[in-house]
Structures are given as structure tokens and as C-alpha cells.
Amino acid sequence: MLLDSGGVLMQPKGGRWNPRADFERTVLDRAPGITPEQFARAIAAGDRFMDQAPTTPDTDDYHRVILDALGVDAAAELLAALVRPVPPATVLETFPEVAGVLRELRGRGVRLAVVSDAWPNLPELHAALGLGDFFEVYAISAVLGCRKPDPLMYRHASEGLGLAPDECLFVDDDPELVRAAIDLGYRGLAMCRDGAASDGVASITSLTGLLELV
């Protein structure tokens, strides 16, 4: 099985993936007086930058875009503070069923890989959240230089497992990315935790749905 990470395995505390949940506090420590409205506009500029990038951009480049929109000097000290190590559990959490389902799948002999538009530290985040022992292969956009639905993302994972596309099931919370995988010969399921329609792609509402397939 090839699994996306965000929305499938884990979610950000506070509901926002990027920038990190402590971004505002870190900036305000050095540039007090910035309003919530200014932060919202600057973060929207960062979102546009991410959306337009062909792959997951360098973290410092992403933060520079937001800081520039805020009129804050992107000094090396501030950039370092924005990515300083924090316990992953303070900003991220796995969905309740995830660890148990992954343990059961591995116990049944299912081989697992991650396919995620993410920064290179994703394996370390997973390890800190107790997911580090489940996955044999990681296909990470910032490492491979492309993002889903680029075929390389899917193929890096399946080939790393030594499996053909039709031997793999891909699960993502974006139905369009699942459809792209199906077009490449993979089986696919959309993760729709809110129960919303998945645009014609078969779906599950929890990772426990995978146990019925094995």
C-alpha cells in the first residue's frame, strides 16, 4: 500500500499545515505589532508560492515569501528560529486509528510506503509520532523534485517496494491524485474522513477500511 501522509496518517494541531503553528509567535517575538489580518494576507502569499512551485520549495524560501509580505527582514537568525526543532507532538497528531491499523497491516504481511508532498524531514516526524517502523519507502516531493501527480512520485514508491503498479493500492485525501494513480495502473482509494463525496473515486472514511481489503 502507498499512503499519503497529511490527511491520511496525520493532521496539524490547529488545522494549518504551513506555516508551522508557532510561526506567528516566533515572528512577533522579533517584530511585535503585526496584526492577525497582516499575517493572514502574508500566509496567503505563501500559499500561492507553494501552489505555483513545481515541487515542495525550500523551507527558507517559503518563509522568505511570507516575511517579505509582512515587511519583516528575513534574517538568518529568524529563519533558523522558524525551523528550530520542536517536539512533533506539539504541532502534529496522528489520527486515532492509524498506529493500530498500520500494525495490523504489517502483521498481515502488507508492505507499506509513503507518497507525500512534504519536506525531507517527514520520516523523522513519523518516527517521533510512533510511525517510523511501518514504512519501507518514502517518496517525498522535496527530495524527488516533483509533486503528485507526477508519475515519479508513485513509481518511486512502488519500485522501491519491488512491486508493479497493479500490485499496489494508493490512498490519498485528494481524489484527483487518486485518479491520477489509477490512470497509471495503480488501484486507488480516496480518504474522505468527513464523509464527503469523492468525485467518482472509491473512498473510505477511516484507515480501518483498509483492513477489509486484506
The rounded Cα 92 to chain-centroid distance in angstroms is 11
DSSP string covering 136-169, please? SEEEEHHHHT--TTSHHHHHHHHHHTT--GGG-E
pLDDT category of residue 196 using cuts at 50, 70 and 90: confident
d(CA 152, CA 187): 16
What confidence tier does 13 reach under pLDDT thresholds 50, 70, 90? confident
Q: Does residue 44 come out as left (phi exceeding 0), alpha (psi in the -120 to 50 range) or beta?
A: alpha
Tell which residue, 8, 203, 205, 200, has the closest CA to residue 102: 8
Averaged pLDDT, 56-77: 96
- The arithmetic mean of pLDDT across residues 18-43, rounded, is 95
Q: Are strands 113-116 and 169-172 parallel, antiparallel or unpaired?
A: unpaired
- Stretch 183-208: mean pLDDT: 91
pLDDT value at position 198? Answer: 72
Q: Is 200 a residue whose pLDDT tops 90?
A: no
Band (42; pLDDT cuts 50, 70, 90): very high
**pLDDT reading at 2 higher than 90:** yes
Which is more confidently placed, 199 or 101?
A: 101
Contacts (Cβ under 8 Å, ≥6 apart) of 144 = 55, 150, 152, 153, 156
pLDDT of 15 reads 82
CA distance 203 to 214: 16
Binning pLDDT at 50, 70 and 90, where does residue 194 land?
confident
Q: What is the mean pLDDT of the chain?
A: 95
Buried b (16+ CB within 10 A) or exposed e, 42-67: bbeebbebbeeeebbbebeebbbbbb
Residue labelled with grid coordinates 468527513 = 194
pLDDT tens by residue, 125-181: 999 999 989 999 999 999 999 999 999 999 999 999 999 999 999 999 999 999 999
Q: Which neighbouring-strand residues pair with 92?
A: 12
- Would you state the pLDDT for residue 120? 95
Report pLDDT for 14.
Answer: 78
pTM: 0.84
Q: Taking 80 as the threshold, does the pLDDT of residue 199 lie above it?
A: no
Residue 197 has pLDDT above 90, yes or no: no
The predicted-structure confidence for 80-134, as pLDDT tens digits, reads as follows 999 998 898 888 999 999 999 999 999 999 999 999 999 999 999 999 999 989 9
- Please name the residue that has the C-alpha cell 505589532: 33
Question: How far out from the chain centre does Cα 106 lie?
Answer: 21
